[in-house]
Amino acid sequence: MHRVRTIPAIVAQHAEDAAFLWLRRRREIDGPLLDETEIGRIDQRLEANLEGLMAAGEAGWDTARGRFADYAEPGELFVLGTLALRWGGTKLVPLAIDLSVGLGEAGISSLSAAIARAQRDNLRPFVAKWLDTRDPRLRALGLSALWHHRIDPGPRLHDLMSDSDTNVRRRAIKLAGALRRRDLLSAVLAGLDGPAPKERLAAALAACLLGETPSAHPVVDQIVLTEPSLAEAAIEIRLLTTPTKAGKSWLQKHLERPARRGVATASIGLFGDRSVMPWLIEKMREPEIAGAAGASLRDLFEVDFGDTDLFVTDPAVLGDGFAALDGDLLPAADRVEAWWDDGRGGRNHRPFRSMRRVRLNALRAALASPETPLVDWRGTRRFPAWM
């Protein structure tokens, strides 16, 4: 790390903007609102601010460290972790890891994102040590490095899948599925009985990727019924791995359950069957599930709805009963109906593949081809646009 003359206000702005831009990227990276080009624009701005901090040398590090002292948040930790890994300091990286403790799992997630942006050569001095340490946080970070850079650790992965820490096991199981390690299928199936719901869900997806869908489905079904925070992800796995006719029958049962009606409605678009549109439009008139119906609409069409007037926040446009939903961006049923009736939607729009669609396409491709590793849909085009 070097010392150079800097303008403190500019360096501080770099630190603030980098944290903000990463938080926005994290929020949108798997979502329905932005596509690869728009994520690329965020990445370019983020990279420019990180480079500004790097160019500031010691002042850049001190500024980022001071900002974290004032705002101990995931975005600020991401910036510290990224700088530490790029400088490759044997003191800076452990310091960033120590500072993550107070953020719990969010801290590990932030450092994992920093690892994703790090060069392999910068990670090489750390990963083997992390995997062999007694600290489960470090083992989790080691697995994050393997996951983001799609590196197979060979026989070592089996031991990590039976680790004493559930978070480490979950990450190891996830990696085994992505790498299509069928030799580790028995360990993946053991994860279906894991004590933590997230571990069981990771094992279910890995089992599906390894061709053992029948073993995974009972676990997925149980998660849908008992774990509200994981229900959406579990339903997604179920529908992507179930023939269409059987999948529709399965989902219909959850539409009839009041507790799962919303998340089930949000998943209907996964079938790609636009004949559901009249029913979906009627659901947009119901305040409690209008947002879910809008989510399905986005899945049904490769359209940038940000270029339309179909999603609004104005209760006067949305209709009776929406006044209490302050600030929510929801589909306006009357406008969607007119749009649908005018040529069944999609007319005069440029093709738009949201990051959610990119992710779903990657999963579909991997599930359809037992020999193909799960691609890193988050890193295929990191800096695609200059505007």
Which pLDDT value is given to residue 3?
A: 67
What does the H/E/C string look like for the chain?
CCECCCCHHHHHHHHHHHHHHHHHHHHHCCCCCCEHHHHHHHHHHHHHHHHHHHHCEHHHHHHHHHHHHHCCCHHHHHHHHHHHHHHCCCCHHHHHHHHCHHHCHHHHHHHHHHHHHCCHHHHHHHHHHHHHCCCHHHHHHHHHHHHHCCCCCCCHHHHHHCCCCHHHHHHHHHHHHHCCCHHHHHHHHHHCCCCCHHHHHHHHHHHHHCCCHHHHHHHHHHHHHHCHHHHHHHHHHHHHCCCHHHHHHHHHHHHCCHHHHHHHHCCHHHHCCHHHHHHHHHHCCCCCCHHHHHHHHHHHCCCCHHHCCCEECCHHHHCCCCCCCCCCCEECHHHHHHHHHCCCCCCCCCCCCEHHHHHHHHHHHHHHCCCCCCCCCCCCCCCCCCC
The pLDDT value given to residue 326: 72
pLDDT of residue 104 exceeding 70, the answer is yes
For the domain 153-241, what is the CATH code? 1.25.10
Nearest to 205 by CA among 190, 188, 222: 188
Q: What is the pLDDT of residue 385?
A: 43
Angle at 16 between CA 8 and CA 72, to 5 degrees: 110
pLDDT digits 0-9 by tens, 156-196: 999 999 999 999 999 999 999 999 999 999 999 999 999 99
Does pTM top 0.95 for this prediction?
no
Sign of the alpha-carbon torsion through 39, 45, 47, 49: negative
Between CA 135 and CA 203 the distance in angstroms is: 23
Confidence of residue 4 (pLDDT cuts 50, 70, 90): low
Please say if the pLDDT value at position 387 is more than 60.
no
**Domain edges within the chain:** 1-151, 153-241, 244-370
31-62 pLDDT, tens digit per residue, is 999 999 899 899 999 999 999 999 999 999 99
Q: Each residue of 253-298: pLDDT tens digit?
A: 999 999 999 999 999 999 999 999 999 999 999 999 999 999 999 9
Give the pLDDT confidence of 327-381 residue by residue, as tens digits: 789 999 999 999 999 887 767 778 899 999 999 999 999 999 888 888 888 874 5
